[in-house]
Chains A and B, each alone.
Chain A
């Protein structure tokens, strides 16, 4: 009996080591999805596609914040690696470009309405296509703003924004709400400032200098504008500037949907949380550009760009590559696919795109229709993103608490960029 048990145990061990990879001549799709909130939609869409065409589509979603680790270990499975994955930015191209199939001239690319959101490698080949875009700015509670005696139209530039915000903050006790939500520097919130807000000085600097690919150094010529807006965020909010690392993203969100603050710097992706989960009224919401005191900024639209780009695994078998490209084409052209994309990702840059009900996207489009310029996502060029941002967060935290002067932020921004670039090239 004992021997039998031993044998059984040993067998279990050996079997668990063996892998059951099977080769499929017809080609199959394995999508390593990046957004947990869209997992169910992708699973359903995959089932529909398999039912219609018989092609196997497997969708796996990495847990929030673990995409890079999951991608690394999945890509290691030679025969069972993802055929479709995500590249987010220039740094992603450095790491994963070697694994991405150049997509120029594919039917998928021919369906696109703009190539603005695509990522190219050093040879100029398109290695990932931006399949949706997002926009961010100052989400504004119009109802509260009116209660304070203003309208969105009163805010045209940094000067007017500051005037409104300072006034609301000064009367916050009487009004029962403040101007800005907490500018939390906890990891769940700090990316709004180390990533999205740093885009303002980066965008204007790159625009002036005509930079169109990742630069080795930056000058920080618009850091004054960054200081303007940051000072405003911490001065005109109820949060304690000395303890910003204690405020989370959820805290800021709560300030906003509880009606404790008028402005909330965030993006189009917040729409479903604010309206769907927290019951805010869509007609009370608007998204206005982040004004920070740059000349001509009254003509700026929202910051639009993406970190959502599809890349096809160039090391997968040809059958799998073809199956994957066919699947993608179906996603952006079929009725089922475009409906899902519009619901989950808003307007997509493809010819067959369906309209979205997200008011933030509509604000973004309205501003563009007025002939205003898009503030593109210049931060996608950031080298060694995590470390560069960590430096900015720490500097902002020290500066806000009065433990360091603004020079620390400048150092993190300018010198930090150079260091991060050298480390990764």
Chain B
């Protein structure tokens, strides 16, 4: 543990500082807590409540039991969206993290202008998804023989290009922070013991950046599952084959269901299922990668 962190911890345990903070905790916590309740907790509870009702406006609802859930499961478009979303999440997870790690690895080496490169790679992340999506749609469609909304696999890889371009820079920053924290003495010791570059990377660097990998895989996996903007702009679910959007992801499917007459309850049920799914996957993934982290 670093010296400054120890000092900070010491200061916080001092009763001189702890006491006033303890007395005033409501002032610090309450505003955030109230916002959390208004913006998250209450809508969430109401969402679950609405998922077992049929409704047009939220003040005028009719209880229908689990009928909405049954309809959601029976919806072929929803099942297709589920499979497609899983595919997008899995492929983007691998692509984004592998690319981000290697960009980070390259930009922690002694090369000229590496700060400039870091900024350049990070900047795409600052542009909003819709704007970015429209620009990329124009670029990609002009390069392809037919538009992405005609060929589902073009739409898929187009989405991958946009997701990577946007997210690699962000993940790269996290990996850079992780790589810089790898203790030099361990790397030196490995070198003295005769480990080559590859072995050092595999046995020293990777286990040490495991916390970064945990965060990045978590972020890219949930980003993949929750993706909406880019999906909406690039293909909007098209091409539709036999009535089913071939590139429609879960979030888009839910939004479309909501705008259908008499389907708002079903959309709400889908949203609850979506929440359970994303939470479950994230928890499993967190547990799996956490166990691989090493304590220094």
Residues on A facing B (Cβ under 8 Å): 6, 9-10, 13, 17, 68, 72, 75-76, 78, 91-92, 94-96, 98-99, 187, 242-246, 315, 383-384, 386-387, 390-391, 393-395, 397-398, 401, 403-404, 408, 411-412, 415-416, 419, 423-425
Report the nearest B residue to A418, measured CB to CB.
Answer: B243
Given contacts A245-B141, A386-B259, A425-B262, contact A411 B242 (CB under 8 A): yes
B238–A76 CB distance below 8 A: no
Beyond A92-B261, A397-B149, 20 additional contacts (C-beta under 8 Å) are A72-B56, A76-B59, A91-B261, A95-B261, A98-B56, A242-B145, A246-B142, A386-B259, A386-B260, A390-B236, A391-B240, A397-B147, A397-B150, A397-B238, A398-B150, A408-B241, A411-B243, A419-B243, A424-B261, A425-B262
> Please, what's the 1-or-0 string for B222-242, where 1 marks a CB less than 8 Å from any CB in chain A?
000000000000001111111
CA distance A211 to B189 in the complex (A): 85
Q: B70 near A: Cβ within 8 Å?
A: no
- Find A95's partner among B60, B141, B238, B262 (CB 8 Å cutoff): B262
Task: List residues of chain A with CB within 8 A of the CB of B138.
Answer: 246
B47-82 interface mask toward A, CB cutoff 8 Å, 1 = contact, 0 = none?
Answer: 000000000111110000000000000000000000
Q: Which residues of B contact A395 (CB under 8 A)?
A: 240
CB–CB A394/B149 < 8 A: yes
> Could you tell me which residues of chain B, from 101 to 154, have a CB within 8 Å of some CB in chain A?
138, 141-142, 145-147, 149-151
Which residue of chain B is the closest to A187 with respect to CB atoms? Answer: B236
Query: Residues of A contacting B238 with CB < 8 Å?
Result: 245, 390, 393-394, 397
Q: Which of A75, A245, A386, A403 contacts B57 (CB 8 A)?
A: A75
Per the bound structure, the CA–CA distance linking A72 and B263 in Å amounts to: 13
Interface size on B, residues (CB 8 A): 34
**Are A72 and B57 in contact, CB atoms less than 8 angstroms apart?**
yes
- Asked if B286 is at the interface (CB within 8 A of a chain A CB), the reply is no
A242 to B148, CA, bound (A): 11
Q: What are 6 A-B contacts with C-beta separation under 8 Å?
A: A13-B31, A17-B38, A76-B58, A95-B262, A390-B240, A423-B263
Quick check: A424 and B239 within 8 Å, CB to CB?
Answer: no
Nearest CB in chain A: distance from B147 CB, A: 5
Q: How far is the CA of A98 from the CA of B239 in the complex (A)?
A: 35
The CB with the most chain A CB atoms within 10 A, among B34, B141, B260, B261, is that of B261
Main secondary structure of the interface of A (DSSP, over half): helix
- Beta-carbon contact of A401 and B147 below 8 Å: yes
Interchain CB contact under 8 A, B261 and A94: yes
B108 to chain A, nearest CB (A): 41
Instruction: Check A243–B147 contact: CB distance below 8 A.
Output: yes
Chain B residues, Cβ within 8 Å of A78: 59
In angstroms, Cα B241 to Cα A412, docked, is 8
Closest to B146 in A: A401
Q: Is the interface of B mostly helix, strand, loop or mixed?
A: loop
**Chain B hits for A408, CB < 8 A:** 241
Q: Which residues of A contact B262 (CB under 8 A)?
A: 94-95, 424-425
Find A99's partner among B56, B146, B150, B243 (CB 8 Å cutoff): B56
Check B243–A391 contact: CB distance below 8 A.
yes
Contact of A245 among B59, B147, B245 (CB under 8 A): B147
Interface string of B149-193 (1 = CB under 8 A from A): 111000000000000000000000000000000000000000000
**Is B27 in the interface zone, CB < 8 Å from A?**
yes
In the bound complex, residues from chain A placing their C-beta under 8 Å from that of B56 are: 72, 75, 95-96, 98-99
B19 touches A (CB below 8 Å): no
Q: Are A13 and B34 in contact (CB under 8 A)?
A: yes
Interface 1/0s, chain B 2-45, versus A by CB < 8 A?
00000000000000000000000001001100100010000000
With the chains together, A401 CA to B149 CA distance in Å? 11
The one of A245, A403, A412 in contact with B240, judged by C-beta atoms closer than 8 angstroms, is: A412
Chain A nearest CB: distance from B231 CB in Å?
14
Complex Cα spacing A401 to B154, Å: 14
Which residues of chain B are near A386, meaning CB under 8 Å?
A: 256, 259-260
Which residue of B27, B147, B242, B260 is within 8 Å of A423 (Cβ)?
A: B260
**Contact B242–A415 (Cβ < 8 Å):** yes
Contacts of B60 in A (CB 8 A): 98, 315
Give the residue of A92, A394, A416 whose beta carbon is less than 8 angstroms from that of B239. A394
